[in-house]
Structure 1
Amino acid sequence: MSHQINLDQLDVDGDVREAAEAAGFDRSTFLRNGALAGAVVGASVFGLPSIAQAKISTKNKSTKNDIKILNYALTLEYLEAAFYKAAVDQDQFASPELKQFAQVVAVHEKEHVDFLKKGLGKAAVKAPKLDTSAVATAISAQNFGATAKALEDAGVAAYAGQGPNIKTRAYVTAALSIHSVEARHAAWIRYILGGGAVGAKPADYPAPKTFDKARSEAGTLKLVTSTGLLA
């Protein structure tokens, strides 16, 4: 499949560019890479039919809507788990710190997947199929850190975006228990990449802002649509 995307049409409000720039990619590199294989991780909308076609309601809370939200979260966790597993299996890390990070987070993401699948039971969506060539680029020694940083930031924002839409208290508790761990991942990778060093740019700090921006379902789907990591 082609990884080239018309970003002016796809990213009207700049969400994708924002994530790429946060990962350290300038506009020219971002556009040249096309699929953002080294900046963010995700999938074609064609790989996410249950998410793209079953839009989450932001106004009417219901158990049915909760299932949509949990499957949305599960799909993101599938992508994260697959990314980190592939990175650990490939073992091409630029530093021991990045390797340790990947090994630990791979376990977390796999357990997040198992947790959500158990909760959803037969309603759980299936794991999407990965594009091996795109994944190989994303997990390379050159790209792994930036990819992980953008992925974790996007995951934190996605959970924050859906929290207010959940009706069932137990689901809120479950989502928050994952959200806080994803936030720790985001801070950890930023620290490894130099954000904790004296003189680091404020945008690279493990905690760069007083308030974080939540990301809507539409904004997250723009990110996952932009990469082509799924076959």
Structure 2
Amino acid sequence: MTDSSEIIDVLDARVERRESRRDFFKAMGVAAAATGGIAMASRSAPLRAQAALTDGDILNFALNLEYLEAQFYYYAAFGEGLPSNLLTGTGTQGSVRGGAQVAFADPLVARYAREIAQDERAHVEFLRTAIGNTAVAQPMIDISAAADGAFSAAARAAGLVGDGEAFNPYASDENFLLGAFIFEDVGVTAYKGASPLVSDPTFLEAAAGILAVEAYHAAIVRTTLYAKGMAAPALIDATEAISNARDSLDGTEDLDQGVRMIGPASNIAPLDPNGIAYSRSAAQVLNIVYLRATAGTSGGFFPMGVNGVINASAGATN
């Protein structure tokens, strides 16, 4: 039976974690705002303030994110991108910069990558069908390993690489998992934030179903990083660096956590003290994927912005 003191330690750790998260990267937040590093702005719910948004607008916003995830995983798992017939639609269709197959050393990680890639492709196909004729085209996407690419900018903002250095998410199992970590938690909070805004019960059920799958994906990535981090603690440190870089820049709310728990437990599920997952607004999500702390409509993983009416990141408030 678990000792009661350990249970108390875990509960106390939740509180301690929330109180101490932001200090490490506060100074980095100012630099990131000036250089276009990874950033998010705090907003209660900018999406709700937009007039006359339809379910199609919200699903199209999600479709942009699914294009990004699907292309990254498909290249990593299979060495190629999505088929061209899944990329057309309204708005400007863009190309994919970068992408490469990972020479996985761990067969389990390779299997996880293939499963997630297939799931993300299925999400793209489903959303395109559900939205119909107004489904947006894939925008230009940057998933390159170049020093001036989005992955390197995100890793640089987290302190994982130095100025002018590149982060290659296709170079190893561990790099792939860290690249996936950048996306997966954000996807979960994005769907949780958007789902209550969907009015059609059929679309709402579908959005909730995709949210559940994204949460499974995030758990696979977080669990694998934690397990590998038991032998290589730098991996756990890296998740904390990425998490703190995002969390210190997303306003006053604690929306992000790495995989280390203070106390005798892991932190596979990033939750609030009530055991509930966090939400992010569309603007906050775009601050992350655009890698900018300011209001704008492009940058980072989407060099020319996303397609659709929900396309603007928020301005920094801290």
TM over 0.5: yes
| Correspondence for 1:11 | none
Question: C-alpha displacement at 1:96, in angstroms?
Answer: 2.3
Q: Separation in 1 of the partners of 2:59 and 2:221?
A: 25
| Correspondence for 1:169 | 201
Gap change, CA 1:160 and 1:196, over 3 Å in 2: farther
- Which of 88, 95, 116 aligns to 2:106? It is 95
| Correspondence for 2:116 | 105
Question: C-alpha displacement at 1:93, in angstroms?
Answer: 3.1
Q: Separation in 2 of the partners of 1:187 and 1:144?
A: 15
Kindly indicate whether residue 203 of structure 2 is the aligned counterpart of residue 214 of structure 1: no
Question: Equivalences for 1:67-216 in 2 at 5 Å?
Answer: 67-88=56-77, 89=79, 90-93=101-104, 95-131=106-142, 132=144, 133=146, 134=149, 137-141=168-172, 142-194=174-226, 201-202=260-261, 205-209=267-271, 210-216=275-281
Question: C-alpha displacement at 1:121, in angstroms?
Answer: 1.2
Gap change, CA 1:83 and 1:139, over 3 Å in 2: same
Question: C-alpha displacement at 1:174, in angstroms?
Answer: 0.8
Q: Is the 8 A contact 2:47 2:281 kept in 1?
A: no
Gap change, CA 1:139 and 1:229, over 3 Å in 2: farther
Quick one: which amino acid aligns to residue 269 of structure 2?
A: A
Question: C-alpha displacement at 1:137, in angstroms?
Answer: 2.6
Quick one: which amino acid aligns to residue 158 of structure 1?
A: A
| Correspondence for 1:58 | 48
Over aligned residues, Cα RMSD in angstroms?
3.5
Q: Is the 8 A contact 1:145 1:189 kept in 2?
A: yes
Q: Separation in 2 of the partners of 1:103 and 1:177?
A: 20
Greater Rg over alpha carbons, structure: 2
Higher helix share: 1
3-state SS of 1:202 partner? coil
Q: Separation in 1 of the partners of 2:211 and 2:184?
A: 10
Gap change, CA 1:166 and 1:147, over 3 Å in 2: same
Q: Separation in 1 of the partners of 2:57 and 2:67?
A: 15
Unpaired stretches in structure 2, ≥5 consecutive residues: 1-20, 40-44, 80-100, 152-166, 234-258, 292-298, 304-318
Quick one: which amino acid aligns to residue 286 of structure 2?
A: L
Q: What do the CA deviations read for 1:50-92 (whole angstroms, capped 9, x no partner)?
A: xxxxx97416896x52111000110110000001011111123
Question: C-alpha displacement at 1:143, in angstroms?
Answer: 2.3
Q: Separation in 2 of the partners of 1:68 and 1:151?
A: 21
